[in-house]
A and B are shown apart, each in its own frame.
Chain A
């Protein structure tokens, strides 16, 4: 049972425009959410996280939005750059229940077109 879902396997965006990557989850106990970026043949790199007590967290060009009622989070990249082309994974954890692990989505491949 996939508790974290990324329904778009791929996304193409023009350089300079906004990239919006989406993620849905089913477990209402999730209270900590993360985005990772992965280049081919490399390990995932932590990008940004958000706690369920917030609905937005920003770090430079990256902003994560959390909509708890809809069980939905999104990652906005503005402006998009060719170097942002990678696979993006969202992940979630239930820290408040003493969770052991992160649950990962299946990833969205972002291609930024120069």
Chain B
């Protein structure tokens, strides 16, 4: 158990819908990262927050957004969902940016 929690574990929705994925980092970790993994491919970095502020952006679509709250938990919002958004979404946390990241168990999103 990495100490990073993600909810929900599974999510099934329809095209055009909007969903919110939630992540609670390890206690003491200030940095949160979101990744997407599609069809056994590599980890695609989406976005990073550090102590409430956006710190780095990766291959994140404009339909996707995220935020980190004062209690350091983070939410990833996916809107106007398409079939191709079906993937595993992982959250990771670290004490400081660039350091060892600890991953949550992921949310499996299926868009029908």
A-side residues, CB < 8 A to B, are 32, 34, 36, 40-46, 49, 87, 89, 91, 93-95, 98-102, 104-107
Return A62 CB to nearest CB of chain B, in Å. 15
| C-alpha spacing A86/B98, complex, angstroms | 24
- Give the size of the chain B interface in residues (CB under 8 angstroms): 27
Checking B55, B98, B105 against A102 with a beta-carbon cut-off of 8 angstroms, the contacting residue is: B98
| C-alpha spacing A97/B33, complex, angstroms | 19
B52 within 8 A of A: no
Taking a contact as CB atoms under 8 Å apart, the answer to whether A101 and B90 are in contact is no
The answer to whether residues A46 and B56 also contact, given A41-B88, A41-B106, A101-B48 and a CB cut-off of 8 A, is no
Checking B58, B98, B106 against A43 with a beta-carbon cut-off of 8 angstroms, the contacting residue is: B106
Dominant SS at the B interface?
Answer: loop
Contacts A93-B99, A99-B98 supplied; 8 other A-B pairs, CB < 8 Å:
A32-B99, A43-B105, A44-B90, A89-B43, A91-B101, A100-B48, A100-B98, A101-B98
Contact residues, B53-83 vs A (CB, 8 A): 55-56, 58
Q: Please indicate the chain A residues that have their CB under 8 angstroms from the CB of B92 in the complex.
A: 43-44
Closest 6 CB pairs of A and B: A43-B103, A99-B98, A106-B42, A100-B56, A93-B98, A100-B97
